[in-house]
């Protein structure tokens, strides 16, 4: 058989490239802000109306035990992007930036031919053009984003430009931007990777009149308890009856839910639904002001399950043709290794904390292969440490309602950590391995408080089994400490190429 000339081969390969790229799944990752596990209709909430998420739960893959990697927002977002625990890169608390040397899903998928867009809350560094940790620097080709959270009529930066106010309901605005991005990308023949991180339902709350009206009975129903949150009028702290707060919070969740419905309809009408992986989760458990009913212990900011369990849903008809649910525990750290496997890309050459969930997508996984770890690092230990990045580059530009230090924008921090001390191992921490969970908290006096729970028999974490199963607790504590050693090694910067 006569071989083709080299030029003919190259031309043929070029002609086939768009088709090959199109065979890759489109990927859309959605995340709510402070949206806890119980705040959906499908998980039995007595008041909330989430018909779209309920439909996704009824038609796709529903995670019964999906975890944010951390009980607060910036750290979870770092895990979402990198497949690594946020403490590995100094993203300890809200307002800590990612480090520029980290490898993100967007960078990996961009090299695989995807066009990558980010819309909404970033919170991993400033979104301005000069920032070395803005969405563009971390792999996104386009972004319409905010340094932090936002309400109605958000102020957003388009591709690093000075922020502009966009009038309207914020979830609807983000989905409209995402749809335009998807349509533009389709014209180029590339698959799209679209990340939408909503500003809802983070406080302070606000909603459209029609959405608020759905919950008009709540102020009278829950008027006794008072909760602390931010005033939309002053930007400072205030105390209000919980019923009024819930009415506004649930209006935000309903608007977010409806916007996801708009996106799903567009995918269907454009023939994109079949081979698009559509994912939704929250970034941490429900905040204390919004916590009403939950079968789990704790709230946002705590390493009990109430602080880390969130809704988790995947729709992908081509790969998941029949609805089902799974009790296998999964995490935001699993997204990067899973998407690498789905798109045939190599994993970053550094320690990862997530696992590949593709066997779970195909209903071939019945148990998690490695433990889940949670750790709220005591970042107060780093006061006075040398900044990892020039503080000027860490200054935010996009305003929000909630004031901090009297200003409406947010600055970010990250610190160098060249050495490891015994104090670095402290802070609330937990490990889940199989059915057992060990939680450790330091106390003001005396030895740390240790609690062992059987999550299958006791999902509310009420019964401490430490005295009954000391060997199990001891083994878990040793595994947790070994993992902390690995994390602290990463924190020194040892994972980055020299």
For 199-254, the DSSP string reads -TTPSSP---HHHHHTTTTHHHHT-S-EEEEE-TTTSSEEEEEHHHHHHHHHHHHH
Residue 457's CB is within 10 A of a number of other CB atoms, namely 9
Whole-number pLDDT of residue 498: 79
- Is the Cβ–Cβ distance between 340 and 82 less than 8 Å? no
Quick: pLDDT tens for 58-108.
Answer: 999 999 999 999 999 999 999 999 999 999 999 999 999 999 999 999 999
- Is the Cβ–Cβ distance between 448 and 440 less than 8 Å? yes
- Report the DSSP pairing between strands 330-331 and 61-67: parallel
Whole-number pLDDT of residue 383: 74
Question: Tokens for 390?
Answer: 């020039």
Quick: pLDDT tens for 144-199.
Answer: 999 999 999 999 999 999 999 999 999 999 999 999 999 999 999 999 999 999 99
- List the domains of the chain with CATH numbers: 15-369 (3.40.720.10), 375-491 (3.30.1120.10)
Provide the whole-model pTM.
0.95
Whole-number pLDDT of residue 15: 40
- Is the Cβ–Cβ distance between 206 and 232 less than 8 Å? yes
DSSP state of 96: B
Torsion of CA 67, 73, 78, 80, to 10 degrees: 40
* CA end-to-end span of the chain: 50
Q: Look at residues 185, 32, 201 and name the one whose alpha carbon lies nearest to residue 110.
A: 185
Q: pLDDT below 50 — which residues of the chain?
A: 1-22
Whole-number pLDDT of residue 379: 81
User: What span, in angstroms and rounded, lies between the C-alpha atoms of 156 and 435?
Assistant: 43
Backbone torsions φ then ψ of 157, nearest 5 degrees:
-100, 130
User: What span, in angstroms and rounded, lies between the C-alpha atoms of 109 and 391?
Assistant: 30
Question: Tokens for 120?
Answer: 């909404």
Whole-number pLDDT of residue 384: 81
**Radius of gyration for the chain, computed over Cα atoms and rounded to the nearest angstrom:** 22
For residue 339, give the 3-state DSSP assignment. helix
Interior angle at CA 73, CA 68 and CA 79, nearest 5: 55
Instruction: State how far the alpha carbon of 346 is from the alpha carbons of 98, 114, 356, 358, in Å.
Output: 22, 15, 12, 15
Q: Look at residues 53, 64, 37 and name the one whose alpha carbon lies nearest to residue 300.
A: 37
């Amino acid at each position: 058989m006569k071989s083709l000339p080299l030029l003919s081969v190259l031309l043929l390969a070029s002609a086939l490239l768009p088709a090959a790229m199109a065979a890759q799944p489109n990927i859309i990752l959605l995340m709510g802000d402070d949206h806890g596990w119980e705040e959906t209709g499908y998980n039995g909430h007595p008041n909330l109306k989430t018909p779209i998420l309920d439909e996704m739960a009824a038609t796709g893959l529903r995670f019964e035990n999906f975890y944010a990697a951390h009980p607060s927002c910036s750290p979870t977002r770092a895990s979402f992007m990198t497949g690594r625990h946020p403490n590995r890169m100094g993203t300890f608390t809200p307002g800590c930036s990612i480090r520029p040397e980290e490898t993100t899903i967007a960078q990996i998928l961009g090299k695989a031919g995807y066009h990558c867009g980010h819309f909404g809350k970033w919170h991993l560094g400033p979104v301005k053009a000069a920032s070395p940790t803005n969405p563009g620097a971390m792999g996104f080709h386009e972004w319409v984003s905010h340094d932090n959270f936002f309400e109605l009529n958000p102020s957003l930066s388009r591709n690093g430009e000075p922020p502009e106010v966009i009038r309207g309901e914020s979830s609807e605005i983000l989905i409209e931007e995402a749809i335009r991005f998807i349509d533009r990308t389709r014209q180029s023949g590339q698959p799209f990777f679209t990340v939408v991180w909503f500003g809802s339902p983070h406080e302070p709350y606000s909603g459209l009149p029609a959405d608020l009206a759905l919950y008009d009975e709540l102020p009278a129903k829950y008027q006794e308890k008072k909760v602390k949150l931010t005033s939309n009028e002053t930007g400072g702290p205030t105390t209000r009856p919980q019923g009024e707060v819930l009415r506004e919070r649930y209006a935000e969740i309903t608007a977010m839910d409806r916007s996801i419905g708009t996106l799903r309809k567009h995918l269907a009408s454009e023939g994109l639904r079949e081979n698009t992986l559509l994912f939704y989760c929250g970034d941490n458990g429900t905040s204390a002001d919004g916590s009403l009913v939950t079968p789990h212990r704790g709230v946002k900011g705590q390493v009990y399950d109430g602080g880390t369990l969130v809704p988790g849903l995947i729709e992908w008809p081509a790969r998941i043709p029949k609805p089902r649910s799974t009790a296998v525990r999964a995490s935001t750290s699993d997204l990067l290794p899973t998407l690498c496997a789905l798109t045939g890309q190599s994993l970053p050459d550094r320690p990862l904390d997530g696992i590949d969930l593709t066997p779970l997508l195909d209903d071939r996984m019945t148990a998690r292969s490695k433990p889940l770890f949670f750790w709220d690092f005591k970042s107060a230990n780093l006061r006075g440490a040398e900044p990892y990045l020039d503080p000027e580059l860490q200054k935010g530009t996009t305003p929000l309602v909630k004031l901090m230090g009297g200003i409406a924008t947010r600055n970010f921090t990250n610190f160098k950590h060249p050495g490891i001390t015994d104090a670095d191992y402290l802070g609330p921490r937990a490990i889940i391995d199989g059915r057992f969970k060990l939680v450790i908290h330091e106390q003001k006096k005396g030895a740390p408080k240790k609690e062992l729970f059987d999550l299958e028999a006791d999902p509310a974490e009420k019964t401490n089994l430490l005295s009954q199963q000391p060997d199990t607790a001891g083994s878990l504590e040793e595994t947790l400490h070994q993992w902390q050693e690995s994390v602290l090694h990463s924190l020194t910067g040892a994972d980055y190429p020299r």
